[in-house]
Structure 1
Amino acid sequence: MEEVNNNDIEEKSISDSKNSTVRNDVIKIAWPVLIELLLGSLFGMIDMMMLGRIPDQSLAAASVAAVGMTNQPLFIGLSLVQALNVGGTAMIARYFGAKQNDRMETVLKHVILLSMTLLVIPLTILGIIYTDNILNLMGAEPDALEAGRYYFKIVMIGFVFQSFNMSISAALRGVGDTRTPMRVNLMCNFLNVIGNALLIYGLLGFPSLGVTGAGISTALSQVIACVLLFIYVIKGESIIKLDLRSRFTFDKNIMYNLVKIGLPASIEQMFLRVGILIFVRIVAGLGTVIYAAHQIALNILSLSFQPGQAFGIAASSLVGRSLGAKDHEKAEAYAKKTRRIGSLISTFMAVIFFFFGRQLVGLYSTDPLIIESASGALKIIAFVQPFQSSQLILAGALRGAGDTFWPLVATFVGVLIVRVVLAYIFIIIMGWGLTGAWIAVFIDQFVRWVFVYIRFRTGKWKHVKIR
């Protein structure tokens, strides 16, 4: 009997040790990403607050609405670049786990070249030439169009550098180096906030440029971040290296993997952004002030969005690395632990949004209608959190395994069908206004969670092969 008890104690000790190791690995990779994303969102919130506090209230509302409308098409471009980066992160994590370090640099070069030539440069040119057409398509009223025209052109130039920055950051995260992107991006976000204060309000002798000044500051911060990360990888200080002297040759296996993993992720992002564009177009019909309230609610939502994203990135890296080392059990343990920790953090933030929504919105605007509308939306957002966080993290685990098809299905059904159709019914037909829009978001997130959770439970993602 005593021998059995000793065996039980020993097995429990081994289990506790494994659990502790998994938790430590998750936190080690996730916390720098979480800090980076949370503070990045916080800086974004401060930017929006600065625009919302422009003394002329009508100009302030137009500026906030303009940033929201210009961000949507910009996010389409960023999402397509990020989809290609998903393939890069998954492959680099796999090669790192399999100790095939020589292939990681080739992956990064392929990702950068493909994203720049096929996506970034063409989209930048189109964005600059067709600025007014794009903003009109977004439903911008004359005041928002006037405020956002030059802002959009400037941030599209910054998009080139931001995309380069994202590709390098994704490669570094694939090998678990999340601290370097954190340090670089936090420093540049801090500089962006200072630049915004100087150029929006015209402090210390700088010109008062309003929302255009915010665009200039944002673009410059992206240039600085790009330069710093580029220097880091070409100096060879990281496991990820970029040797500009070595000759580049296309690798058909890497191209196959990028298409296999990245194509569904790209289509998913297209569905997501098209769905959100239609959704935004419906909400914009409620008027500039209500749309400004919606944008403020989205801006605050982005803060609670970040734990799911951070732990989803950690899950991608750790799951990919474990599958590269052919340790399926550890891959599943990492996925479950990231979901548990990330969901706890998101739920805590949801409680704050529910009870202190009015105070948070009051930091952005003094307009009573905006405060009332946006704080009501935050109460619904609080209920979105548990499903949103779990869905983001499990989808990150699937992507890390190279299983990008089911996140695509979840997004197509949830965003492009459920959210858009219900938003039209709730806003246009039933007249529920902004509340109806956010109820549609809640149902969309729940549907996506169901799809991703069921796929994860099948375990089939553990057997996805890459070349």
Structure 2
Amino acid sequence: MQIKKSDRHYLGIAMPAALEGLFMVLLSSVDIIMVGVLGTTAIAAVSIFTQPRMMLLCVVRSVASVLTLLTARKFGQEKLQEVPALLARTLFCMVLLMGFLHLAFFLYLEGILSWMGAEEEYMTAALSYGDIALLGVFLTTLSTVLQAVQLGYGHTKQVMSANVQGNVVNIIGNALFIFGLGPFPELGVVGAAVGTVLGTSWTLFITGYQFKNSNWIRWSSFWPTKAYFQEFLPVFAGIFSEQGFERLGMVIYTRMVAELGTAAYAVHAICMNFCDFYYCFAGGLGKANMVLAGHAHGAGDWSYWQRQLRAGLKWSFLFSLLSFICTYVFREEIFSIYSHEAALLPLGALIMAFVAAVSFPEAHAMVCAGVLRGSGRTSQVAAYSFVSIAFLRPLVTAFFLQVLDWGLAGAWLALAIDQSMRAVCASFLLWRVWRNRPQVACDG
């Protein structure tokens, strides 16, 4: 297959972003794979903290997406001198806000985990993990905000480099503190949290070092102004609504799955964790399309907008096809990497087939949503996200679990329906943008 110039340009930005997403999910995967040696309850204890972590990161990623989008637009408009003040003010606000939220989560973590569906069987282990892992989430907050500007410029290789290094440190920390290698203590589940903190600390250090040695970053006044909020909040409202609806739907969904029992939830956690590999890879493609659409939006370049959209759709399909084949063919072997309990394998292999199938709609939806955001359609993405994940998925899941009694397979069928609905909605909205006159996609 011939790779065009537009494809090479797209892949030059998209692949580092996609691989960065892949390595980010590796952080949590390493925890589960290594903790899996300790048994099913250990897997559940580490996995149940995923939802509190994602609730906090929902705010962080929303802010980071706004920062990336605004930076990309200023890049297209050639107003890069405005970016340093935008970053400094955003970072100041996030330190205050997320510091307060992390303190609240630390004080009320047991109640939060209980509400998420955590069982007494593994609550103590979940708390010992979560109390330490919260620090890692806060460090990730700082890294994510800084990296948002790098993404807006299209410097995806720097982001990938920092996160890859952080994951390597995390793996080493896990090995040392979970199993007590050499002079280090054997901490079990707590060791996984220590490894996470070490990894996120290194990512933040490297990201800060990249900024220190970049001549395109100049720190300005950190105090937010009225003009800052007028520019930032309208975009944030749409993106945070989307992220919030997704997180609300996932919390309700996870709670219903957790009620199926420890064994079923352990299978779900393993399969969801592996599903996140391609989901985050596709998320990187979506980020790249948002940045490129933002560049075109700022510059008013309709032809560039079209070329990058075509490249995004083509490559997302090819990557999805590869993901589907590999996951479906090796589903039993993949599941066995996470769990050595033979009794879980039949159900695990079935759910892994769902993981393979959702590769197509999730990647397509990510790319289309990225282009919509970059084209100023954040409220539209938020609207269909609310209907699909916060409303449709919980209802369909409840019907499959409580009425039809389909168990974990029903929960994953509901997830597949949700992903497909979002792909259809995003495609329709993007088709409307494509159909209209060029200025529709590039007007603010």
TM-score range relative to shorter protein: over 0.9
Q: Are 1:94 and 2:83 counterparts?
A: no
Read off the aligned partner of 2:81 and give its amino acid letter. D
Q: Secondary structure at the match of 2:243?
A: helix
Aligned counterparts of 2:33 and 2:235: Cα–Cα separation in 1: 38
Alignment of 1:388-467 (within 5 A): 388-459=362-433, 462-465=441-444
Q: Equivalent residue for 2:25?
A: 41
Q: Secondary structure at the match of 1:206?
A: coil
Q: Equivalent residue for 2:43?
A: 64
Instruction: Give the Å deviation of 1:242.
Output: 4.0
- Measured against aligned partners, the alpha-carbon deviations of 1:85-144 in whole angstroms (never above 9, x if no partner) come to 1111111111111111101112212221222223x1121001110011011101111122
Give the superposed CA RMSD. Answer: 1.7
2:7 aligned to which of 13, 18, 23:
23
Instruction: Give the Å deviation of 1:238.
Output: 4.7
Q: Equivalent residue for 1:13?
A: none
Task: Confirm or deny: 8 A CA contact 1:192 1:217 kept in the other structure.
Answer: yes
Aligned counterparts of 2:55 and 2:218: Cα–Cα separation in 1: 27
Q: Equivalent residue for 1:106?
A: 85
Aligned counterparts of 1:38 and 1:249: Cα–Cα separation in 2: 35
Read off the aligned partner of 2:303 and give its amino acid letter. E
Aligned counterparts of 2:83 and 2:430: Cα–Cα separation in 1: 27
Task: Confirm or deny: 8 A CA contact 1:427 1:436 kept in the other structure.
Answer: yes
Q: Equivalent residue for 2:164?
A: 186
Q: Secondary structure at the match of 1:402?
A: coil
Read off the aligned partner of 1:50 and give its amino acid letter. M
Q: Secondary structure at the match of 1:250?
A: coil
1:212 aligned to which of 180, 190, 195:
190
Aligned counterparts of 1:103 and 1:217: Cα–Cα separation in 2: 37
Read off the aligned partner of 1:169 and give its amino acid letter. Q
Q: Equivalent residue for 1:301?
A: 275
Instruction: Give the Å deviation of 1:251.
Output: 4.1
Task: Confirm or deny: 8 A CA contact 1:90 1:401 kept in the other structure.
Answer: no
Instruction: Give the Å deviation of 1:464.
Output: 4.5
Task: Confirm or deny: 8 A CA contact 1:90 1:320 kept in the other structure.
Answer: yes
Task: Confirm or deny: 8 A CA contact 2:26 2:167 kept in the other structure.
Answer: no
Instruction: Give the Å deviation of 1:267.
Output: 1.6
Aligned counterparts of 1:201 and 1:368: Cα–Cα separation in 2: 23
Read off the aligned partner of 1:308 and give its amino acid letter. A
Q: Equivalent residue for 1:11?
A: none
Instruction: Give the Å deviation of 1:33.
Output: 1.7
Most deviating of 41-50 and 314-323:
41-50
Q: Secondary structure at the match of 1:204?
A: coil
Aligned counterparts of 2:110 and 2:29: Cα–Cα separation in 1: 26
Structure 1's consecutive aligned runs of 4 or more residues displaced over 4 angstroms after TM superposition are: none
Aligned sequence identity (%): 27
Aligned counterparts of 2:127 and 2:335: Cα–Cα separation in 1: 26
Instruction: Give the Å deviation of 1:249.
Output: 4.5
Task: Confirm or deny: 8 A CA contact 1:33 1:179 kept in the other structure.
Answer: yes
- Measured against aligned partners, the alpha-carbon deviations of 1:44-78 in whole angstroms (never above 9, x if no partner) come to 33331111112xxxxx2112112221111110111
C-alpha distance 107-129 of structure 1, shift in aligned 2 (>3 A)? same
Aligned counterparts of 2:229 and 2:302: Cα–Cα separation in 1: 25
Q: Secondary structure at the match of 1:205?
A: coil
Most deviating of 37-46 and 179-188:
37-46
Read off the aligned partner of 1:113 and give its amino acid letter. F
Aligned counterparts of 1:73 and 1:24: Cα–Cα separation in 2: 38
C-alpha distance 155-242 of structure 1, shift in aligned 2 (>3 A)? farther
Alignment of 1:32-431 (within 5 A): 32-54=16-38, 60-118=39-97, 120-235=98-213, 237-239=214-216, 241-243=217-219, 246-431=220-405
Aligned counterparts of 1:70 and 1:249: Cα–Cα separation in 2: 34
Q: TM-score, normalised by structure 2?
A: 0.95
Aligned residues: 438
- Measured against aligned partners, the alpha-carbon deviations of 1:412-452 in whole angstroms (never above 9, x if no partner) come to 11111111111111112211111000000000011111111
Most deviating of 250-259 and 435-444:
250-259
Aligned counterparts of 1:398 and 1:196: Cα–Cα separation in 2: 39
Greater Cα radius of gyration, structure 1 or 2: 1
Aligned counterparts of 2:255 and 2:228: Cα–Cα separation in 1: 39
C-alpha distance 43-159 of structure 1, shift in aligned 2 (>3 A)? closer
Aligned counterparts of 1:73 and 1:332: Cα–Cα separation in 2: 38
- Measured against aligned partners, the alpha-carbon deviations of 1:326-365 in whole angstroms (never above 9, x if no partner) come to 1022112212211210221122111221221111001111
Read off the aligned partner of 1:63 and give its amino acid letter. A
Instruction: Give the Å deviation of 1:372.
Output: 1.7
Task: Confirm or deny: 8 A CA contact 1:307 1:342 kept in the other structure.
Answer: no
Most deviating of 195-204 and 364-373:
364-373
Instruction: Give the Å deviation of 1:307.
Output: 3.1
Aligned counterparts of 2:430 and 2:127: Cα–Cα separation in 1: 44
Read off the aligned partner of 1:312 and give its amino acid letter. G
Q: Secondary structure at the match of 2:371?
A: helix
Aligned counterparts of 2:376 and 2:193: Cα–Cα separation in 1: 36
Read off the aligned partner of 2:103 and give its amino acid letter. I
Aligned counterparts of 1:387 and 1:66: Cα–Cα separation in 2: 30
Q: TM-score, normalised by structure 1?
A: 0.90
Aligned counterparts of 2:256 and 2:247: Cα–Cα separation in 1: 14
- Measured against aligned partners, the alpha-carbon deviations of 1:268-294 in whole angstroms (never above 9, x if no partner) come to 111111111111111111111110100
Q: Secondary structure at the match of 2:338?
A: coil
